[in-house]
């Protein structure tokens, strides 16, 4: 059976279902193909469940340290099964919300695996989607005037130590732990690795982070990386940088041992209950039928697209993590909307890549937008830099979270802000002001003139902006 649509979307994650809803709003008929669960990795195996666990870890630390606020408790205990139960409740509630949105927008959902076909009896163009079901239902053919591929990514593994779900874990597998380990090795000091290191150490797990680069969070501003390393060390996290894995072995079916080479060829062995591998993610493009089209992949296996997210086949688009770039849920959603608006000839002004906000939901949190100081200088820009610690902000002192800072980088010639970097409590909520400032080409002077409420954490942004020209009041 063949069905015709204005748009067929492969993948029901953030990029896919947001594209579907926007297309429906624009009057297009839409089919959404998802072999697993609507909401994708972010909702079921990434952003949402991870942040739920991080929240529980933060509450545990708050209760443990409640005496600092004059509140005495006998003992803080972790009931990890209840922690996991709350995570599932959060995910289930949001999953129901996504399904309701899809139903409200009259989007046809096909719960099978979609594969692209070449030119055939169904269409002279490639891109007809064959939906294959797990049960005995016959394949269905979906013929779209346009197609969006939004299939996301999967965890990348180390070939010499593949995931086994017990001793070597992906982040997906770590989310299903039934009990907390006593110790954990985390391979990879990027965003995922640092969030897990923060969470597990707050739960009382002994954590060692192994990073091949000179610094953890290597793509972030060096001030962020330096302070995060210090804060993790306070939690008891061991961090080994410039470390390469030479081999691993399971000891007595209870522990894992990694053989490492550090800088200057120093050999080291580390052991733990298990290893969490967080070395990045790879595009989920296997068996999608891309070979039946002219779609091209880059050297890392991501789908090549132009500025409008069109592939080499102009009627087939791709958005989200499967195209590489900033692999973030909010970016996937934005790309999906832009692709649909291009299909409908109502596209908005294309965003600048430097306006993408990145967050790390560790304790303390990290949020950034724009160029790092190091990137700006490499581009030859003459920069003005100001930094304000949260310890100078009244609301941070009240909340008992004074670690961290706001850092603003501006172009001395144009006065435009070109980067804002934050580290501290609730900065993932504060960063949107910085993003708006970047979009509007705001200057530090203009942010400084904006009245910010007192007491509030947002005062740190105003004070830092004022500090660009040495006009700060506090600090």
Active site residues: 454
Helix (H) / strand (E) containing 47:
helix 47-64
Count of CA atoms in the C-beta half-sphere (13 A) of 101: 21
Q: How many CB atoms lie under 10 A from the CB of residue 374? A: 12
The tokens for 283 are: 């595009």
The whole-angstrom separation of Cα 403 and Cα 389 is 8
List the beta bridge partners of residue 110.
33
| CA 159-241-249 angle, 5° bins | 40
Helix (H) / strand (E) containing 171:
helix 171-174
- CA 450 → CA 387, 458, 464, distances in Å? 18, 11, 12
For tokens 């902006």, what's the residue? 465
For tokens 């310890």, what's the residue? 391
The whole-angstrom separation of Cα 131 and Cα 112 is 6
Count of CA atoms in the C-beta half-sphere (13 A) of 229: 18
The contacts found for 85-90 with CB under 8 angstroms, 24 or more apart, are 86/52, 86/56, 87/49, 87/52, 87/53, 87/56, 87/175, 90/48, 90/49, 90/52
């Amino acid at each position: 059976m063949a069905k015709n649509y204005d748009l067929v979307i492969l993948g029901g994650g953030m990029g896919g279902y947001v594209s579907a809803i926007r297309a429906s709003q624009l009057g297009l008929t839409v089919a959404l193909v998802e072999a697993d669960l609507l909401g994708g990795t972010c909702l079921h195996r990434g952003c949402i469940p991870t942040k739920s666990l991080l929240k529980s870890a933060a509450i545990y630390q708050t209760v443990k340290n409640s005496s600092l606020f004059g509140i005495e408790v006998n003992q803080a205990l972790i009931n990890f099964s209840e922690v996991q139960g709350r995570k599932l409740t959060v995910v289930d509630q949001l999953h129901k919300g996504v399904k309701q949105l899809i139903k409200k927008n009259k989007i046809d959902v096909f719960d099978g695996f979609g594969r692209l076909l070449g030119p055939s009896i169904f269409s002279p163009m490639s891109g007809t989607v064959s939906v294959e079901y797990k049960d005995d239902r016959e394949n269905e053919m979906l013929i779209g005037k346009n197609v969006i591929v939004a299939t996301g990514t999967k965890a990348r593994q180390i070939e010499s130590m593949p995931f086994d779900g017990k001793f070597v874990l992906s982040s997906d597998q770590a989310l299903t732990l039934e009990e907390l380990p006593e110790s954990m090795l985390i391979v990879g000091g990027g965003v995922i690795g640092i969030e897990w290191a923060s969470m597990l150490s707050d739960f009382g797990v002994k954590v060692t982070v192994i990073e091949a680069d000179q610094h953890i969070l290597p793509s972030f501003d060096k001030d962020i990386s330096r302070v995060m390393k210090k804060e993790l060390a306070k939690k008891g996290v061991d961090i080994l940088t410039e470390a390469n894995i030479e081999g691993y072995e399971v000891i007595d079916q209870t522990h894992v041992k990694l053989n490492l080479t550090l800088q200057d060829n120093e050999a080291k062995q580390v052991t733990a209950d298990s290893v969490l591998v967080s070395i990045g993610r790879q595009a989920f493009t296997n068996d999608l039928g891309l070979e039946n089209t002219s779609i091209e992949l880059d050297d890392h296996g991501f789908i090549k697209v132009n500025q409008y997210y069109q592939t080499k086949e102009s009627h087939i688009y791709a958005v989200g993590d499967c195209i590489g770039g900033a692999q973030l849920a909010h970016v996937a959603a934005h790309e999906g909307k832009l692709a649909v608006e291009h299909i409908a000839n109502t596209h908005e002004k294309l965003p600048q890549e430097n306006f993408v906000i990145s967050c790390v939901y560790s304790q303390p949190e990290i949020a950034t937008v724009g160029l790092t100081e190091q990137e700006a200088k490499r581009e030859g820009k003459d920069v003005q830099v100001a930094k304000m610690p949260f310890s100078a902000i009244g609301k941070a002192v009240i909340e008992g979270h004074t670690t961290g800072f706001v850092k603003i980088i501006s172009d001395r010639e144009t006065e435009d802000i070109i980067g804002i970097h934050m580290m501290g409590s609730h900065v993932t909520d504060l960063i949107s002001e910085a993003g708006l400032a970047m979009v509007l080409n705001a200057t530090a002077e203009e942010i400084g003139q904006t009245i910010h409420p007192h007491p509030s954490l947002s005062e740190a942004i105003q004070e830092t902006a004022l500090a660009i020209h040495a006009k700060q009041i506090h600090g």
